[in-house]
Structure 1
Amino acid sequence: MNIQETILMLAHISIKDFTIVDTLELDLNSGFSAVTGETGAGKSIMLDALSLATGGKAESSHVRPGATKAEIYACFELKDKPKLQSWLDENDMKGDQDQLILSRIITQEGRSRGYINGRPAPLHQLREVGEQLLDIHGQHAHQMLLSKEAPRQLLDNYGQYSELLSDVKTSYKHWQNLKQRVDQLQNQSDESLARIQLLEYQVQELDLLDLEPAEVESLEVEQKRLANAETHLLSAQQALYFCQNDDDQGDAYQAMQMALQKLDPLIESSPALANAHELLNQAYVVIGEAADELEKYIDNFEINPQRLQHVEERLNAIYELARKHKVRPEELCELHITLAEELSQLKGQDQSLDELVIALDQAEQDFCGHSNALSSARRKAADKLRGDLLKQLKSLALDKAQIQFDIDSQPIHKASKYGVDEIQLMVSFNPGQSLQPLSKVASGGELSRISLAMQILIQQGPDTLIFDEIDVGVGGATAERMGRLLKQLGSSKQVISVTHQPQVAALAHEHLLVNKLSGKQQTRTQIRKLDKDQRQQELARMLGGLEISDLTLAHAKDMLMAAQA
């Protein structure tokens, strides 16, 4: 068995107190692993647990009765996956270089917490990582083939034209963004006209005001000074009077002079008065200088009632416009700029609309060009996929099948980010029967075989594939052929398949058995790997039911030997 070294493999799963599992520790290998067990044993429990580990919906019923919480851990071997490694780095969730661990804790109340490499992670991140790790196909996963989008998805996954798909998506998004912008501008024309008229009036008012930055603060300071001019002059005159005057009552200057005269004769005989004498002398000089400054202030002082009136009128105009716009006076300058910019933008929309219409036409042409190229690539891929698919179906006992991909280009108004093609998968399983849509003619068994054949042909996406009874509705030789295809798929992927078919289980590289153990107080499920003899016993049970005979044992042994060949 040649397994690719770069496979991103589910290496270990640990489950505790989940539904009817108390404790489960299971190491998994690469290749094809079959999971079997009696009906009702809980073969799908491991799959359900993995679904939760990758962001599935949690419920209180997931917690085993009597337990407080359920715990699920899934460990993946991670090698040569730069895209996933980059995602982990960007989200600060990088762990061991060669391992990735997803975990989920579920409480009795149905609440849950998710983790990636031990770091808390919201469910959308678990799902985002899970999509790159594994792909779970439930019992009715093949029903997805019946969805309207399935044929396109299958064909695009098969075809080697990812660059064309990217070009179509990018050009479609650009085209739609322009279309939305044009529609908005056209619908806003009447509303914009009324807004333009209002803005023109408001901007004109602010233009006439011609307010300068910081002008309000400067005017308010000047207004206070001018309004109190007489009071300022009187106070200065009074201060000068107390410093110097010719009255008999004397002033501060004269007082200092008289004090100095009293001390002058005493300095030589009383040195202790020298410091006081010096301070009085300094005060005498300072008072003289202060008086000079006051005289200058009084001589140059000017009372200007005309300037005061102008300043107050200017402030009133500013305050009135600020109240009108419900802003602070100092915010009027910024408002002026904002309104002028909006007016300019609205006036330029007519010109912008014309330019956008031209750009819209060009964007539509670009999208049509990319879509036409994609349609051609799809038709070529459809012919090749048809041939490959018929070969696979022939090996699954559908050798009479006829298949065709109908690709019909739709009108441009029905376009999407996937182009303009409507794709249908048309089939016929019986000679003489006309080709019809798959949903109208395929049985469950036929859908299962087509689904598996598609998986073989389109080996993209996650490296771990999980199938839950994909072989439902088939048996005998057809089941054996499905088993061989699963084994073939296991050479490049890790394949885990829950099956009721002994022909499928016999071809697995590894066989896991699910048992339900019933006690007096509780029922629990266990999963274990089978050795060669145990596999023979399980295959015999699957062949003959509860009674295992020498005949069924011999048949089981032959099946295992044939699988080895």
Structure 2
Amino acid sequence: MLLSLSIRDFVLVDRLDLRFDTGFTVLSGETGAGKSVLIDALGLLLGDRADAGWVRHGADRAELAAQFDIADQDSVVQLLEDYALEGDEGLCLLRRTIDSSGRSRAFINGQPATAAQLKEIGEYLVDIHGQHAHQSLLRSEAQRTLLDAYGGQGTAVTAVRGAFQQWRQLKDRLDRAVLHADEHSAERERLLWQIDEVAALELLPDEWMALQTEHARLAHAAALIEGCEAGLSALSEGEVSCQSMLASTQAQLGALVDYDPELQETIDLLASVEAQLSETVYSLRHYSRRLELDPERLGEVERRMDTLYRISRKYRCEVEKLPELLEQWRGRLNELGVNEDVEALTAAVAEAEQTYRALAVELSAARASAASRLGEVVSQEMQTMAMAGSRFEIALIALEQPAAYGLEQVEFRVAPHAQAPARSLAKVASGGELSRISLALQVVTSQLASVPTLIFDEVDVGIGGRVAEIVGQLLKRLGQRHQVLCVTHLPQVAACGDRQFQVSKHQSENGIYSRIEALDDRGRVEEIARMLGGVELTDLTRQHAAEMLGIVLA
């Protein structure tokens, strides 16, 4: 339930703080005074799109805040917990700011939030019926949505839509598979022999690099053997070798170290050189023993390299990337295998269609039941709205082709009297009748709403007199189940309210601004009298207003 609303620098309002109670609350005022400001402010707090036009002229930003009692709203409490936006127990505070550049910020329980989160939470808190709601009743989509909402078929509608989309997606895949069957078959055959050709190579990881290294060694084996022999001769095996000369030098210097100890450092360095030279000779000798001329192996390596290079050129790919190309082909072949399985796709399409039709038939039955119930209760309400003898019906017209929303189109129909056939609402209802039927529908469907606060923004346009009084009684009756706020210009409706706010427009040196204030009994008499009699109020008009309110004037 809405507990309070705070508005700062919003449109024509500079500062406003209102508190609300249960029951039926009325907002009234002269035309142009800004009666819908409260509705607009709540709409923004519930996630409507914001722009700079909402900021009062001359102000830097507009600020809006509303507090709700959510003690009995388990869905809202859970949603706030899911978003980690909890506040004081049993309360929910929504706040929004809009600066003069149009930038908007939203807060829930003092924590930053998004407009989408405001909208999601707001759907559980407030239901707003706009003043042009009756115009949407002429659209088939709106009629179907209203019927499904009345019948509580939201889950069923979602399931039918999902099943239809699954069916259509599979059908599109099947159509594409049939259309491209020959093309895919040719591609599949080509991939098969390409895969066989490359897979037969059995190319190992890093094999190409190893082959290149081995080929270089085998192709230059003679030069390598010759170089190793020359090196060993110079270092160790020749008559005059490095090792022999190094040994001779060490012996000569060793004999002189007694004469000058400083030579010992040089002798030590020569010993280190001798050790490294010995390791070098050992390594070179070990390497040379593995070298041999092997023309046969060289031929094998060259033939393998030639095969790999030829295949890589054929497919315009580097040799080392042939395994990667092979995996790509295999992946594409798997895709074609699924797409080309026309028989399996045909069976899947048939199964998806069967699932859709089964769900759609269940939805049709539920719609038929809801249509009968809704037709009866709306017809009963219409009898009290100067439409005695009229009848409201809902026709379910079978579609030639199944649709995402089901197997039928929904059409609201009305019969002006008992003997007349029911015809499409768009063809037979006048503006006033359409407004009354719309209100009857809103009252009936709102009785089932789980949302605690219902707001009606001048939904009584086009009616008056006795019908207006009946509408007021309907809204008052609705206020026994929900918190009801109604913006109205009809005194008959306003008189039925449990309490009343007056919206007025004032001129100051800073411009025009609106005020909204709660009225006491005397204030309500004056306001109802104004709504009855216009500018010039008489005692008789005030007496009439007091009678409507059930107030005895002193």
What TM-score do the two structures reach when normalised by structure 2?
0.87
Q: Which moved more, 1:105-114 or 1:152-161?
A: 105-114
- Residues 292 and 156 (structure 1), Cα distance of their counterparts in 2 relative to 1, 3 Å cut: closer
Of 41, 58, 67, which residue of structure 2 is paired with 1:66?
58
- Give 1:78's aligned amino acid: I
Partner Cα separation in structure 2 for residue 377 and residue 269 of structure 1: 121
Residue 173 of structure 2 contacts residue 339 of structure 2 at CA under 8 Å; is this kept in 1?
Answer: no
Residue 390 of structure 1 contacts residue 399 of structure 1 at CA under 8 Å; is this kept in 2?
Answer: no
- Give 2:439's aligned amino acid: L
Q: Does 1:195 align with 2:170?
A: no
Q: Which moved more, 1:81-90 or 1:208-217?
A: 81-90
Of 420, 441, 452, which residue of structure 1 is paired with 2:428?
441
2:281 is aligned to 291
Of 243, 268, 277, which residue of structure 2 is paired with 1:253?
243
| RMSD of aligned residue pairs (Cα, Å) | 3.3
2:169 is aligned to 177
- Give 1:400's aligned amino acid: G
2:126 is aligned to 134
User: Alignment length, in residue pairs?
Assistant: 550
Deviation (angstroms), 1:451: 2.5
Of 442, 462, 485, which residue of structure 2 is paired with 1:455?
442
Q: Does 1:425 align with 2:418?
A: no
1:37 is aligned to 29
- Residues 256 and 159 (structure 1), Cα distance of their counterparts in 2 relative to 1, 3 Å cut: same
Of 202, 212, 230, which residue of structure 2 is paired with 1:210?
202
Deviation (angstroms), 1:26: 2.4
- The 5-angstrom pairing of residues 267-306 of structure 1 reads 284=274, 287-288=277-278, 290-304=280-294
Q: Which string of whole-angstrom CA distances, capped at 9 and with x for unpartnered residues, describes residues 209-250 of structure 1? A: 332222233234334444554554455334423331332xx3
Q: Structure 1 vs Structure 2: percent identity of aligned residues?
A: 37
Partner Cα separation in structure 1 for residue 541 and residue 161 of structure 2: 57
Q: Which string of whole-angstrom CA distances, capped at 9 and with x for unpartnered residues, describes residues 25-75 of structure 1? A: 323333321110111101112212222333434444323222233333344
Q: Which string of whole-angstrom CA distances, capped at 9 and with x for unpartnered residues, describes residues 314-335 of structure 1? A: 4455455546555554332122
2:214 is aligned to 222
2:529 is aligned to 540
Partner Cα separation in structure 2 for residue 315 and residue 100 of structure 1: 76
Residue 129 of structure 2 contacts residue 459 of structure 2 at CA under 8 Å; is this kept in 1?
Answer: yes
- Residues 324 and 530 (structure 1), Cα distance of their counterparts in 2 relative to 1, 3 Å cut: farther
Residue 12 of structure 1 contacts residue 76 of structure 1 at CA under 8 Å; is this kept in 2?
Answer: yes
1:143 is aligned to 135
Partner Cα separation in structure 2 for residue 480 and residue 62 of structure 1: 34
Residue aligned with 2:406, SS: coil
Residue 139 of structure 1 contacts residue 468 of structure 1 at CA under 8 Å; is this kept in 2?
Answer: yes
- The 5-angstrom pairing of residues 79-478 of structure 1 reads 79-91=71-83, 93-96=85-88, 98-117=90-109, 123-159=115-151, 164-165=156-157, 167-226=159-218, 229=221, 232-247=224-239, 250-262=240-252, 284=274, 287-288=277-278, 290-304=280-294, 307-308=297-298, 310-312=300-302, 314-315=304-305, 317-319=307-309, 321-322=311-312, 325=315, 327-347=317-337, 349-350=339-340, 352-411=341-400, 414-458=401-445, 459-460=448-449, 462-478=451-467
- Residues 539 and 346 (structure 1), Cα distance of their counterparts in 2 relative to 1, 3 Å cut: same
1:518 is aligned to 507
Deviation (angstroms), 1:197: 4.2
- Give 1:72's aligned amino acid: L
Deviation (angstroms), 1:497: 0.8
- Residues 377 and 289 (structure 1), Cα distance of their counterparts in 2 relative to 1, 3 Å cut: closer
Deviation (angstroms), 1:368: 2.4
Residue 216 of structure 1 contacts residue 330 of structure 1 at CA under 8 Å; is this kept in 2?
Answer: yes
Residue 10 of structure 1 contacts residue 28 of structure 1 at CA under 8 Å; is this kept in 2?
Answer: yes
Deviation (angstroms), 1:514: 0.8
Deviation (angstroms), 1:337: 1.6
Q: Which moved more, 1:309-318 or 1:148-157?
A: 309-318
- Residues 135 and 235 (structure 1), Cα distance of their counterparts in 2 relative to 1, 3 Å cut: farther
Residue 530 of structure 2 contacts residue 537 of structure 2 at CA under 8 Å; is this kept in 1?
Answer: yes
Partner Cα separation in structure 1 for residue 471 and residue 478 of structure 2: 10
Residue 138 of structure 1 contacts residue 467 of structure 1 at CA under 8 Å; is this kept in 2?
Answer: yes
Deviation (angstroms), 1:306: 5.1
- The 5-angstrom pairing of residues 479-558 of structure 1 reads 479-558=468-547
Residue aligned with 1:142, SS: helix
Structure 1 gap segments, 5+ residues each: 1-8
Deviation (angstroms), 1:267: 8.0
What TM-score do the two structures reach when normalised by structure 1?
0.86
Partner Cα separation in structure 2 for residue 323 and residue 96 of structure 1: 73
Partner Cα separation in structure 2 for residue 16 and residue 324 of structure 1: 76
Residue 256 of structure 1 contacts residue 281 of structure 1 at CA under 8 Å; is this kept in 2?
Answer: no
- Residues 23 and 322 (structure 1), Cα distance of their counterparts in 2 relative to 1, 3 Å cut: farther
Q: Does 1:78 align with 2:65?
A: no
Residue aligned with 1:404, SS: strand
Partner Cα separation in structure 2 for residue 190 and residue 548 of structure 1: 88
Structure 2 gap segments, 5+ residues each: none
Residue aligned with 2:237, SS: coil
Partner Cα separation in structure 2 for residue 251 and residue 552 of structure 1: 137
Residue aligned with 1:472, SS: coil
Partner Cα separation in structure 2 for residue 83 and residue 318 of structure 1: 67
Q: Which string of whole-angstrom CA distances, capped at 9 and with x for unpartnered residues, describes residues 169-190 of structure 1? A: 4433332232222122222224
